[in-house]
Amino acid sequence: MGYGASRAVLAVLLFLVLAAPARAAVLLDQEHYAYSDGSLTHLIGEGVPYVAQTVTPLGQGLLARVDVYVYTQASYGGDWTFSIRAVDGSGVPTGTILASQIVNSADVHPVDFDFVNPTVVNFTTPAAITAGTPFAICVSPNPPVYGAGQGKGYWNGTIATDPVHYAGGRVFSSLNGTSFVAGSAGHDLFFRTYVDGVITPEPSGMAALCLLALACRRRRRIRRREVAIGDAAPANVACPHP
C-alpha cells in the first residue's frame, strides 16, 4: 500500500473514532432496600422537619436521580423539598445544599406499608459527586414546619435488628436544616442513587480506534524496513570504458 493510500485509510479511521458518539449512562450506584424487611418508620413533621440519610458513592459524576421510600399522608397536600447535602469530616450532614428539587405531594407516593413504590426524584440541576466522598439525601416538607399533630409523611427503613443494613451511612434528623443529629446506630432509610456521567465509547469507535493503532504500527514497520534496505544498498559504481 502506497503512502497516499495509507494516509487515506488513516484519515478515514480517525474520522470514525472522532465521529463515533459517546453514550452517557445513568447507572444505579448505591442502594439500601429490603422488601418487607423494614422495621423503621421515620416520621417527618411530627417531631422533626428534616430527615436525612448519608450515602457513600462508588461512582462519580452527576447525581441525576434518587429513589426514596418517602410517603405522604393524605391530609398533606403541600410540597416537599428533596435536597442533597454536603457531609462534614465526621460524616454528619451540613447546611450546604449541593442540589435541591421541590416535588408536590401529588408526585409523592401515598401511605404504603408494603414498601413497594419509591418516590422518584429527578434533579433539574444535579449535584456533582466523587467516589468515596459521602453526601446526604435530605427530605423535608416545604415549608419545614413541625410539631405535635403536624406530621406530613414518613420515610421507611431498617433498624439494627433487621437482617439487612447499609454500611455506607446512617439516618440523621434536624430541627433547622443546619445542625443534624445522628439516629440510633444501625438505623438506615431506604433509597437508591443513580449517577449520570459514565461515558462509554460506541463499539464502532472502539473498533476504529483499534484499527487505527494497528495501521499506525504497520506503517512504522514498513517505514523502518524501507530505511534499512536503503541503507544497505550499494552505491552506484561507474563502469570503466574498455
Contact present, 93 and 138 (Cβ < 8 Å): yes
Average pLDDT over residues 10-20: 47
Residue at 22 is within a domain: no
Q: What's the pLDDT score for residue 109? A: 79
Name the residue type at position 216. Answer: C
Query: What CA–CA distance (Å, rounded) separates 43 from 116?
Result: 18
Residue 202: what pLDDT? 46
Domain around 42:
30-197
State how far the Cα of 145 lies from the Cα of 142, in Å rounded to an integer: 8
Report the C-alpha gap between 14 and 70 in whole angstroms: 50
The reported pTM is 0.72
Considering only 101-105, 143-147, 190-194, 233-237, which range has the smallest mean pLDDT?
Answer: 233-237
pLDDT given at position 113: 59
Taking CA atoms, 119 is separated from 17, 83, 110, 122, 223, in Å, by 40, 14, 9, 10, 63
Look at residue 4 and tell me if it is in a domain: no
Residue 226 belongs to a domain: no
Q: Which of 48-62, 102-116, 142-156 has the lowest mean pLDDT?
A: 102-116
CA distance 215 to 221: 10
Q: Which of 20-29, 112-121, 162-171 has the highest mean pLDDT?
A: 162-171
Q: What is the reported pLDDT for 222?
A: 54
Check whether 236 has a pLDDT greater than 70.
no
Using omega within 30 degrees of 0 as the cis cutoff, is the peptide bond preceding 143 cis?
Answer: yes
pLDDT surpasses 60 at 48: yes
For residue 235, is it within any domain? no
Question: The domain that contains 169 carries what CATH number?
Answer: 2.60.120
Q: How far apart are CA 126 and CA 61, in angstroms?
A: 9
In a domain, 14, yes or no: no
- Structural domain contains residue 96: yes
Count how many domains the chain has: 1
